[in-house]
């Protein structure tokens, strides 16, 4: 029994220990988050007039702005996390096992942020949510986005994260300390018997099998929110759903690369998150990027080739008009990382720094492309005889979006101090006991 | 017993999804004016069904062993 008594200092992966650097990070994230909450209170008390959004056509604006662009972006980021986690389970990719929990965490956090980004876009959020559950129609892609993405997908990801962490929670629950109650609750009586392992193996395999098609449907549904709107040039098209899935993969894998590099550095986990892991991530990112750049090229050629009048107005705005700097900027930060990744793949030598830079760039590109999907079709794509409109986000919108990013950083930062973000392996457990 | 309860949970989830779907989808409605859900919060029932179906994994793993 005496050997089971462990001091708080022995908790693996720095759980429960708060370094000065971590405190500064959390304090900064909290300040930005608080600013976001303040900005949102302005919007709640004074109404949507605090934002840059205005009616389409009559007021020459856009009713969907940066918030909806961020909904699409955050939900896109969630795609890769659970995909990687599920594929590790289904295809038994043992090399990537060390980043599985990180990927699951990223999915849960980004889905929460995606849900909040929808809420902040509603002028009357309570009424909006209640009416959605009262009157939503299943044929509507909005309904699919809420029911499959926010409810089903988030819940499934939480269950997957929870069940996958029970073994480590049982290990952590043996350590006395302030977090012992939490680890005991998470372990829920798990004893790591052969029977329990077998049971978890089965349930996680079937969950992974159920989640993969669900997430393809969910992300395609999000694409259909735009792609099925017949009267909106720029949105209506068959490429929207597959392009949404491809760009979701790009932004999500990019985030996993960044998060893996940060965790590797902070926890000094070079032996766990090896260069082979980054090589895998680099190849997957390259694959998604190549597919998306292909879709992007097809879209560009279609826009340039004998487009009807309204589409021409929209394509001019994108390619050489007021949105051109975002369009070509996004293309550049997607194509350059693709070239860098391809070069590394051909040489079979992967540089973590270059991969992280690629991860950052593709995410900037993804945000730009999401913005371009949402906004220009409203300001320049109306079929009615209105003048061309414009939209620029207000400081309130920028503040709320910054607050959402800060909330994500806070959730991840707090999680890694409450629970091991890398699965505890046998050796690590023995070392901790020593 | 564990498998039985797991399947029962999945079944409850799927049944709720079906009731929620057909309760909120206006299949067979005479026109757009009659296209509201057939009963209040039918869409919520669909969402609850999805959540319950995925809870089957929790039932399968967390259900305590039978005492002998």
Three-state SS string across chain A, please? Answer: CHHHCCCHHHCHHHCCCCCHHHHHHHHHHHHHHHHHHHHHHHHHHHCHHHCCCCCCCCCCCCCCCHHHHHHHHHHHHHHHHHHHHHHHHHCCCHHHHHHHHHHHHHHHHHHHHHHHHHHHHCCCHHHHHHHHHHHCCCCCHHHHHHHHHHHHHHHHHHHHHHHHCHHHHHHHCCCCCCCHHHHHHHHCCCCCCHHHHHHHHHHHHHHHHHHHHHHHHHHHHHHHHHHCCCCCCCCCCCCHHHHHHHHHHHHHHHHHHHHHHHHHHHCCCCCCCCHHHHHHHHHHHHHHHHHHHHHHHHHHHHHHCCCCHHHHHHHHHHHCCCCHHHHHHHHHHHHHHHHHHHHHHHHCCCCHHHHHHHHHHHHHHHHHHHHHHHCHHHHCCCCCCCCCCCCCCCHHHHHHHHHHHHHHHHHHHHHHHHCCCCCCCHHHHHHHHC
Q: Which residues of A touch B21 (CB under 8 A)?
A: 138
Instruction: Answer yes or no: do A137 and B60 touch at CB < 8 A.
Output: no
With respect to residue A433, please indicate whether it lies within any of the assigned structural domains.
no
- pTM for this entry: 0.90
B11 near A CB under 8 A: no
Residue B32 has what pLDDT? 65
Q: Which of B1, B28, B38, B43 to mutate to test the interface with A (most CBs of A within 10 A)?
A: B43
pLDDT-derived band at B33 (thresholds 50, 70, 90) equals: low
A369 vs chain B: nearest CA distance in angstroms?
30
pLDDT string in tens for chain A (434-residue length): 334 445 445 678 888 888 899 999 999 999 999 999 999 999 999 999 999 888 887 777 888 999 999 998 998 898 878 888 888 888 888 888 889 899 999 999 999 999 899 999 998 889 888 888 888 877 777 777 776 676 788 898 899 999 999 999 999 998 888 889 999 999 998 888 889 989 988 998 888 888 888 778 877 888 888 888 877 788 887 888 888 889 989 999 999 999 999 999 998 888 889 999 999 999 999 999 999 999 989 888 887 887 777 888 888 888 888 999 999 999 999 999 999 999 999 999 999 999 999 999 999 999 999 999 899 888 888 877 888 888 999 999 999 999 999 999 999 999 999 999 998 876 665 445 54
pLDDT(B66) > 80:
no
**Residue A276 belongs to a domain:** yes
Indicate the number of domains in chain A.
1
Query: Which CATH number goes with the domain that contains A65?
Result: 1.20.1630.10
The answer to whether the Cβ–Cβ distance between A133 and B47 falls below 8 Å is yes
Q: Is residue A415 part of a domain?
A: yes
Instruction: Provide the domain limits for residue A88.
Output: 19-389+396-424
Supply the ipTM of this predicted assembly. Answer: 0.89
Per residue in B12-27, pLDDT tens? Answer: 999 999 999 888 877 7
Domain membership flag for residue A331: yes
Which chain B residue lies closest to A204 (C-alpha atoms)? Answer: B57
**What's the pLDDT at A303?**
78
By C-alpha distance, the chain A residue nearest B13 is A152
């Amino acid at each position: 029994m005496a050997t089971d008594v462990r001091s708080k200092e022995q908790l693996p992966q720095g759980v429960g220990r708060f370094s000065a650097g971590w405190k500064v990070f959390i304090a900064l994230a909290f300040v930005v988050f608080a600013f976001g909450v303040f900005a949102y209170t302005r919007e709640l008390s004074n109404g949507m007039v605090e934002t840059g959004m205005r009616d389409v056509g009559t007021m020459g604006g856009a009713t969907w702005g940066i918030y909806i662009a961020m909904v699409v972006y955050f939900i896109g980021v969630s795609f890769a996390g659970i995909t990687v986690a599920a594929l590790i389970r289904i295809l038994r990719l043992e090399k990537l096992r060390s980043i599985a929990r990180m990927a699951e965490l990223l999915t849960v956090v980004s889905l929460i942020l995606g849900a909040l980004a929808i809420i902040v876009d509603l002028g009357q959020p309570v009424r909006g949510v209640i009416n959605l559950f009262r009157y939503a129609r299943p044929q509507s892609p909005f309904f699919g986005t809420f029911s499959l993405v926010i409810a089903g997908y988030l819940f499934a990801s939480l269950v997957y994260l929870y069940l996958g962490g029970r073994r480590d929670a049982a290990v952590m629950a043996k350590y006395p300390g302030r977090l012992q109650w939490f680890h005991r609750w998470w372990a829920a009586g798990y004893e790591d018997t052969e029977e329990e392992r077998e049971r978890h193996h089965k349930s996680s395999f079937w969950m992974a099998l159920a989640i993969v098609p669900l997430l393809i449907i969910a992300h395609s549904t999000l694409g259909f929110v735009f792609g099925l709107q017949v009267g909106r040039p720029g949105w209506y098209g068959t490429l929207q759903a597959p392009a949404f899935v491809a760009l979701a993969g790009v932004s999500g894998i990019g985030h996993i690369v960044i998060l893996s590099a940060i965790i590797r550095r902070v926890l000094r986990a070079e032996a766990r998150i090896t260069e082979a892991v980054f090589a895998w991530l680099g190849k997957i990112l390259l694959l998604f990027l190549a597919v998306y750049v292909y879709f992007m090229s097809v879209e560009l050629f279609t826009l340039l080739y004998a487009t009807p009048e309204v589409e021409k107005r929209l394509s001019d705005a994108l390619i050489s008009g007021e949105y051109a700097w975002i369009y070509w900027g996004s293309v550049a930060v997607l194509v350059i990382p693709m070239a860098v990744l391809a070069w590394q793949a051909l040489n079979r030598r992967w540089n973590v720094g270059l991969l992280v830079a690629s991860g950052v760039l593709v995410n900037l590109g993804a945000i730009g492309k999401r913005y371009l999907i949402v906004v220009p079709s409203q300001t320049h794509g109306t079929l009615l005889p209105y003048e061309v409109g414009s939209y620029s986000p207000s400081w309130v919108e920028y503040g709320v979006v910054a607050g959402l990013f800060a909330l994500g950083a806070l959730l991840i930062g707090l999680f890694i101090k409450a629970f091991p973000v890398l699965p505890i392996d046998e050796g690590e457990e023995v070392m901790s006991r020593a | 017993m564990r498998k039985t309860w797991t399947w029962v949970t999945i079944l409850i989830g799927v049944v709720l999804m079906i009731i929620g779907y057909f309760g909120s989808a206006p299949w067979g409605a005479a026109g757009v004016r009659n296209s509201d859900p057939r009963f209040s919060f039918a869409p919520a029932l669909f969402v609850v069904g999805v959540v319950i179906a995925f809870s089957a994994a929790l039932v399968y793993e967390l259900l305590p062993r039978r005492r002998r």
